[in-house]
Amino acid sequence: MSGFSDNIMRLSGRMLSQYPAQRDWDGKLTMAPHPGIIPTFSIVTLSDNVPEQEIMKWNGWGYSDSKFLYNKKGQAEFTGKRYRLSGMIIPGLREWMESTFSANLQHKTPAAPILNSSAVQPPTLNEAFLKELKSTGIPFSHDAEDRVFRSHGHCLHEIFALREGKIGRVPDLVVWPNCHNDVVKIVELACKHNVCLIPYGGGTSVSSALECPPEETRSIVSLDTSQMNRILWIDEKNLTAHVEAGIVGQDLERLLNESGYCTGHEPDSMEFSSLGGWVATRASGMKKNIYGNIEDLVVHIKMVTPRGVIEKSCQGPRMSTGPDVHHFIMGSEGTLGVVTEVTMKIRPMPEYQKYGSVVFPNFEMGVACLREVARQRCAPASIRLMDNEQFKFGHALKPQVSSIFTSFLDGLKKFYITKFKGFDPNRLCVATLLFEGDREKVLQHEKQVYDIAAKFGGLAAGEDNGQRGYMLTFVIAYLRDLGMDYYVIGESFETSMPWDRVLDICRNVKARIVRECKDKGVQFPPLSTCRVTQTYDAGACVYFYFAFNYRGLSDPVHVYEQVEHAAREEILANGGSLSHHHGVGKLRKEWMRESISSVGMGMLKSVKDYVDPNNIFGNRNLL
């Protein structure tokens, strides 16, 4: 690494002083490890039945108090107190939005402010079931708001409909079991009275998995696991924790942190998504390079099915006892039963954490670098590569700088990279890095990675850029709501592929999106961007972000869906997978057969037929 870039690193490192509360000078963590969230928010009181919905938006992402808006001066601002970005002005966002989407602040598309309960169909109740349920004392509700809140995930079409006050088929009843035994009782009653059960965890699904099948004539009961959120025990000898499956990611980490541990499982949705949901969808976390994906983290699972409870008899770290039954459960997407308790691996909290970033002259070089890092098996806890559009987007989300000095430094860095190093600002791209471990090793590791990067023309670009990159992960979902206020709709979707196809898939899918938008009559060029978010020995995971200004379209959601459909076709045609970690749900069901072959479908089908012959778990996902 040249002396110049070294300098930049140190300079940008000092800029961290803006956030003294986050970290002391040697970089030792004083707070929760993920960058965006300030975990002062306490989880919902467990005693009453007021679930999180009161502090959550009913028709958008996340907390009610946190959102992007344009203030009176027309500047973008992020409200609330929960995030690092909260309360800050984001000067570049407006221009970015206007230039990227040709959006205009004059053209607003506000959401319906409150839920109109009369738009919700009255519940179809199974009286016999209800009567017996009452006798168990398990709390339940058929209040319209409770039901609507659990009737959807966060697919674009779901949120768009809510914003317009359109409500389709919703669960008829919500139940809140408090423990495994409650679930056993509920499932028994459901079988007895032929009631359809849909497990509900954090509600962050993006695969239409939570949508109630419109053709379902039985009473639909949403089984909300949110009250099953305790850590039942921690085993420090074996480094495992036994946890109820309804616990939400950030609470799990916070509670474990209190004992000096963590799971290290940090999916982007970890503020809201639940352990049970992770298991049911085969979730993947940002730091899987150190801690592994959910399938690597799970030691033992307990699931209640219509046939009874399934679990293994011991907690051996690996077994040769036929096909692993855990793999019927992981990815079953609520079609077989409810995961109630999970034993997970835990690790001591990392001593030291350090962000970083590298600028590459172009995306191709960036991918080549990530490939080399994976080849040498020296990936940091997280390594992500944003393409040029996303780099610009990230730039637009920079909060207002407090001092002339920092803005001067920013200018200097930009000058250095574009003028001195000759990077084309319209081609360069950025990798963000997160290192974790003991201090010595982190620094060593860091050097190794930066050395590799240098071979691919990469310049170290500072901790701040890296950290901001990860912060984006948590606020990007809020941004969609802002877009939707101004005729902009969009979504992200992911896939995984072998290394040699990464560039081809990124290029072709982005181009396909642009072309489909044009063909479908979208009036303005769309945002079509991607990033590589995970690296593996044999391939990578890529996220696509796609959004467009829908002014002039009569059915924008339909257009959106057609384009996403085409993009998925393109992914599959180029050798990408149907999903890396979002799952299949109902959104991607149509491609299952070609993905896993007819025999594969038959295998899954026969398991379903055995475990749940009456389709009690009738969300109709996957198959």
Partner 1 sequence: MTILLFFPIVGSITKKDPMLKKRDDFEDMLEERRNSSDLRYALKCYTPVLYKGLTPCKVSELKQMVLQSDQLGYVITQVSKEKGVTSDEVTGEAAAILEEMAQRLQLSTVRFFAFTLSKVFKTLFRSICINEEGLQRLQQAIHNHPVVLLPSHRSYMDFLLMSYILYTYDLALPVIAAGMDFMGMKVVGEMLRMSGAFFIRRSFGGDKLYWAVFSEYVKIMLKNGYAPVEFFLEGTRSRTAKSLTPKLGLLNIVMDPFLKGEVFDISLVPVSISYERTLEEALYARELLGVPKPKESTSGLFKARKILSEDYGSIHVYFGQPVSVRSLAESRVNRSQFNLIPRHIPTRPSEEILSFVNDSAYRLVRAQEENMVLKPWVLLAFVLLQKQAAEEKQGTALDELTEQAVWLRDLSRQYGAFLHWPDHIPPSEVVSSSLSLHRGLVRISEGRVQLALEQETRGAITPEEELLNKAVVILSCASYRNQALNVFIRPALLASAIHTAASNRKQEIYNSFSFLRNMFSNEFILCPGATVQDFEEACYLLVKTGTLQINQQEVLITERGHRTLAFLTSVLDPFLQGYQVREMHTQRHSVVFNTNGLTEKQFIPAVRKFIIKHLLTGSLLKCRLRYTEVLSSDLQKNALAALIRLGAVQKIKGYVGFTHLHVHVGLIG
CA distances from 255 to 39, 208, 262, 289, 437 (A): 11, 31, 9, 23, 20
Q: Which stretch binds partner 1 (CB under 8 A): 28-36, 39-47, 104-112, 568-576?
A: 568-576
338 is in an annotated binding site: yes
Question: Which residues in 49-181 belong to E strands, given as ranges?
Answer: 68-70, 76-78, 89-90, 140-141, 173-175
Residue 480, both tokens: 């969609």
Write down the least CB distance from residue 364 to partner 1, Å. 9
Tell me if 562 contacts partner 1 by CB under 8 A: no
H helix or E strand, kind and range, residue 436? strand 429-437
240 is in an annotated binding site: no
Tell me if 520 contacts partner 1 by CB under 8 A: no
284 is in an annotated binding site: yes
Instruction: Assess contact for 584 and 207: CB atoms under 8 A.
Output: yes
H helix or E strand, kind and range, residue 606? helix 592-611
**Per-residue contact string for residues 578-597; x = within reach of partner 1 by CB under 8 A:** ----------------x---
Q: Tell me whether residue 244 or residue 516 sits nearer to partner 1 (CB atom).
A: 516
Tell me if 424 contacts partner 1 by CB under 8 A: no
Please give the distance of CA 293 from its chain centroid, rounded to a whole number: 13
Greatest alpha-carbon pair distance for the chain in Å reads 76
337 is in an annotated binding site: yes
Tell me if 572 contacts partner 1 by CB under 8 A: yes
Tell me if 575 contacts partner 1 by CB under 8 A: yes
606 is in an annotated binding site: no
Cα 191-46-286 angle, rounded to 5 deg: 85
- From candidates 119, 128, 412, 511, binder to partner 1 by CB under 8 A: 511
* Helical ranges in 324-438 per DSSP H: 326-329, 363-375, 388-396, 404-415
Q: Tell me whether residue 234 or residue 596 sits nearer to partner 1 (CB atom).
A: 596
Write down the least CB distance from residue 577 to partner 1, Å. 10
> What's the burial of 101, exposed, middle or buried (CB within 10 Å: 0-12/13-18/19+)?
buried
Q: Tell me whether residue 238 or residue 597 sits nearer to partner 1 (CB atom).
A: 597
Round to whole Å and give the CA distance between 413 and 401.
15
Write down the least CB distance from residue 318 to partner 1, Å. 29
Catalytically annotated residue among 478, 543, 550, 560: 543
CA distances from 325 to 311, 319, 338, 402, 611 (A): 9, 11, 15, 55, 12
Strand order from edge to edge, sheet including 140-141: 140-141, 173-175, 220-224, 196-200
Our answer to whether residue 470 is catalytic in this structure is: no
SS3 369: helix
Q: Tell me whether residue 572 or residue 601 sits nearer to partner 1 (CB atom).
A: 572
Handedness of CA 340, 346, 349, 353 (dihedral sign): negative
- From candidates 22, 232, 574, 623, binder to partner 1 by CB under 8 A: 574
- From candidates 7, 573, 597, 614, binder to partner 1 by CB under 8 A: 573
- From candidates 54, 500, 555, 590, binder to partner 1 by CB under 8 A: 500
- From candidates 49, 64, 109, 508, binder to partner 1 by CB under 8 A: 508
- From candidates 223, 349, 505, 611, binder to partner 1 by CB under 8 A: 505
Residues in contact with partner 1, counted by CB under 8 A, come to a total of 13
Round to whole Å and give the CA distance between 276 and 384.
26
Per CB under 8 A, residues contacting partner 1 are 500-501, 504-505, 507-508, 511-512, 572-575, 594
Binding residues for FAD: 199-205, 281-284, 333-339
Binding residues: 199-205, 281-284, 333-339, 480
Give catalytic residues, as residue numbers. Answer: 543
Binding residues for substrate: 480
